[in-house]
Structure 1
Amino acid sequence: MFYLLSKVLFYVLMPLPITIAMVVWALLTKNPVLKQRLLKSTLVIIFLFGNDFLVNEGFLLWEVPATTPESIVEKYDVGIILTGGMISNKEGTEAQIFTDKTADRFIQPLRLYKQGKLKKILISGGNTSIKLFRSDASDETLKTAQLLEELGVKKEDIILERKARNTRENAIYTAEVLRKNPTFGNKYLLFTSAFHLKRALGCFEKAGIHCQGFSTAFHSRARTFTINSLLVPNEASYYDAYLLIHEVLGYMVYKVLGYC
């Protein structure tokens, strides 16, 4: 129930639904003062959440900074990858694999594995379908494992956890796998998107699994002070603002509930 409610609630609280609601309210109200205030507020929201510079600053503040591969001098027993956007939600044959926007989550551990800094790779994530609301057509965990194997990771070095539907479950079910298999070792490196790493590390600590974090799939970029970045709203920034707000709200809710 928490999983379903959290997904629905977060969509309702995002910039686009709020913007649409304010425009509809402005069109329906017969109060001219309220109509004017609503339309002005809508323009302000569009500017703030569509502003490339401001949204990028938000990510620079929130994301966990990058770790250079050279700074990892010790060998980790298990690299833990959290699924979510690595594989495109597209139906295909068994042999077809379509990577998506967070593919960096498996690229970075693959690099470290090739450098001999990871002994094994654990992929955590299950089916996230919600009837009549969300369809999960691809098996991201299996497809990622298939791709890693094709790229040179030994099959025996890949561990699968296929029940988790959110970050808390990633931590809980991964902890179960690791405790049942003490031979895997106890030095872990956690891979997820940079803006999501704070919440993920908190959840794993609560589950009793101490990990070092490794940020991937960054949304922040180098600062630019161009007219386009500073003054012209764009839809890409609006989407990025949605991701950032979603994650900050998620982190706050998890904190209140004691999940991280």
Structure 2
Amino acid sequence: MFFILSKIIYWLIMPVSLIAWVAIGSLVVKQKKYRQLLHTSAVFLLLFFTNPLLSILIINSWEPEAIPYNQLDGHYRYGVVLSGITNPDRPPFDRVQFNKGSDRIVHAIDLYQKGIIDQIVITGGTAAITFEGHKESHALRGFALSCGIPETDINIEDQARNTRENAIYTADLLKQTQDEILLITSAFHMYRSKKCFKKVGLHVVPFPTDHYGRSLRYTPEELIIPSLNALNVWTTLTKEWVGILAYKLAGYL
């Protein structure tokens, strides 16, 4: 129920939804003064959420910086990869269909090949609500195998549907290990992931990947021309912030 409710709340307040609610209000409200106010607000929200400069500033302030390999302090038995980066129900099914976020597994493989981690742990089943879907961890395991990672050094759990369950089931899989683990997920998702894994007693070292942020370029198209990518950044952040708030209220963090 919590899983479904959080998705409904996110859908209601995501940037596109907010713009739509205000725009619809401007069409149905009869009073001219309020109709004009709602119309102006809808235009403002559209320009705000599609402004590239604002989106870059907010995402850069939220995401932790990437960590160079040579700055990792030590050697790790496990590198834990959070899924949520593929479209497992998109045919054909003879390959992994990646969404944004493939850096999670690609960097994990790189870390293994460089000898920084001994084993890759992949956590995640499916986040589908209305159907079971194909297990993401199975697809990512197959991808890691195709990249030359030995089967004995890949561990998966395929039941988790959200970040809290990622943490719980990984702790069970690793039998509450006291080893430090390298936590590998997207930078925007690292705050919630780190808190969840620490909550279940695991000792994690964050390794953020898949950054949305980047350096500012002071050109007209970067400063004032509306961008769908900017809207996507705000949408991603809204989903993450709703998740963090819901997790705090539920005591998961």
For residues 88 and 12 of structure 1, what CA distance do their matches in structure 2 show? 26
Query: Secondary structure, in 3 states, of the residue corresponding to 1:179?
Result: coil
Which amino acid in structure 1 is aligned with residue 158 of structure 2?
Answer: R
Equivalences for residues 46-57 of structure 1 within 5 A: 46-57=46-57
Deviations 1:113-165 (A, max 9, x none): 0011110000000122212xxx6644321111001011011001000111110
What's the CA shift for 1:173?
Answer: 0.8
Residues 171 and 207, structure 1, Cα contact 8 Å, conserved in 2: yes
Moved more, 59-68 or 136-145: 136-145
Residues 86 and 96, structure 2, Cα contact 8 Å, conserved in 1: no
Is the counterpart of residue 130 in structure 1 residue 129 in structure 2?
yes
Is the counterpart of residue 253 in structure 1 residue 246 in structure 2?
yes
| TM-score, with structure 1 as normaliser | 0.93
How many residues are matched?
253
Equivalences for residues 113-192 of structure 1 within 5 A: 113-131=112-130, 137-179=133-175, 186-192=179-185
What's the CA shift for 1:40?
Answer: 0.8
Distance 1:201 1:173, change over 3 A: same
Aligned equivalent of 2:213 = 220
Aligned equivalent of 1:97 = 96
Is the counterpart of residue 12 in structure 1 residue 8 in structure 2?
no
RMSD of equivalent CA atoms: 1.6
Residues 63 and 188, structure 2, Cα contact 8 Å, conserved in 1: yes
Gaps of 5+ in 1: none
What's the CA shift for 1:255?
Answer: 2.1
For residues 139 and 258 of structure 1, what CA distance do their matches in structure 2 show? 27
| TM-score, with structure 2 as normaliser | 0.95
Percent identity, aligned pairs only, is 30
Deviations 1:183-239 (A, max 9, x none): xx7220000000000100000010111100000110001112211121121222112
Query: Secondary structure, in 3 states, of the residue corresponding to 1:259?
Result: coil
Which amino acid in structure 1 is aligned with residue 16 of structure 2?
Answer: L
For residues 89 and 100 of structure 2, what CA distance do their matches in structure 1 show? 11
For residues 28 and 148 of structure 1, what CA distance do their matches in structure 2 show? 54
Deviations 1:91-132 (A, max 9, x none): 223x3222221100011111110011110000000122212x
Gaps of 5+ in 2: none
Residues 87 and 143, structure 1, Cα contact 8 Å, conserved in 2: no
For residues 216 and 89 of structure 1, what CA distance do their matches in structure 2 show? 24
For residues 73 and 22 of structure 2, what CA distance do their matches in structure 1 show? 53
